[in-house]
Structure 1
Amino acid sequence: MSGQYKGDVSPAQAWDLLSSDENTVLVDVRTLAEWKCVGEPDLSSLSKNTIYIEWVSFPDRAPNAHFMSQLMQAVPNKDATVLFLCRTGVRSIAAAIAATEMGYENSYNILEGFEGDADQKGHRGRITGWQGRDLPWTH
């Protein structure tokens, strides 16, 4: 099943899954710098917490060698629906593939990521992505 994962969902579909299924979790694979400087998804209205596991580290962008062990610790139920989120939906695909290969068969990538596409002035988080689609987030 190499190179495969369950599929892609829009930010709104991700929110719906998180809202309707208690076994759905959100794993944000961005870096600590992104979480602190850009913002974080806010799942408090759903009585859930975002799981934070870097796919790569900042600033050297080295792969997180402990990603899978951290995921297994944070999400012991391999039957859970796992939604992966990054800045624009690229690192999260790699994370979903890796998770699927480790037995998390319900791994999804969130299209557009947290910040989404840049607007005409080059700013992200305004037109697409978790932020641009006005889903709950904190800074």
Structure 2
Amino acid sequence: MGTDAVPHVSEVGPRDAWNILSANTAAVLVDVRTKAEWGFVGGPDLSELGRDTIQIEWKSWPGMTPNPAFVGALLDEVGELPSAFLFLCRSGVRSLHAAEAVAAALAEAGLTVPCINVAEGFEGDLDQGCKRGGLNGWKARGLAWRQS
């Protein structure tokens, strides 16, 4: 999903994201959902891999206002750049935009770190009953997660 203006961001499904995180201890998972989503819906559980998910809001609820400090906060959080950033949100849209922003900031600084969007997100798409969490996404794929 790259253009000339935006560095390339690749996408993987949730199981592939788990496999990347399992095989690559220097890759990090960044959950860009809101504090409300983390608290009420839960989130990925990477304890089996001996690490935590980085949680930084891309947009803040309830107004879904953009977080202008997102890129700086993420880079401060990780310190040393990881081998890859994997971005996750509810369904894969916000995380794609966050991945593009980080990739662009890194490119502007002359740095290259793969930025990967987790397609389907944590809860996935709406099912026929207009509910999330059962059709696809991290939870529906049976990956480790926990309720806060």
Contact 2:91–2:119 (CA<8 Å) still a contact in 1?
Answer: yes
**Cα shift at 1:122:** 1.5
Residue in structure 1 matched with residue 109 of structure 2 by the alignment: none
**Cα shift at 1:79:** 4.9
Residue in structure 2 matched with residue 58 of structure 1 by the alignment: 61
**Cα shift at 1:49:** 0.3
Contact 2:27–2:82 (CA<8 Å) still a contact in 1?
Answer: no
Within a 5 Å distance, the mapping from 1:16-31 to structure 2 comes to 16-31=19-34
String of CA shifts for 1:64-105, please: whole Å, max 9, x gaps.
Answer: 011011111112233520000000000011111111011153
SS at 2:66 equivalent: coil
Within a 5 Å distance, the mapping from 1:1-139 to structure 2 comes to 2-103=5-106, 105-139=113-147
Contact 1:5–1:96 (CA<8 Å) still a contact in 2?
Answer: no
**Cα shift at 1:42:** 0.3
What letter is aligned with 2:29?
L
Normalising by structure 1, we get a TM-score of: 0.95
Percent identity over paired residues = 45
How many equivalent pairs are there? 139
C-alpha distance in 2 between matches for 1:94 and 1:77: 22
The alignment yields a C-alpha RMSD, in angstroms, of 1.3
Q: Which runs of 5+ in 1 are unaligned?
A: none
Normalising by structure 2, we get a TM-score of: 0.89
Q: Which runs of 5+ in 2 are unaligned?
A: 107-111
SS at 1:95 equivalent: helix
**Cα shift at 1:5:** 2.9
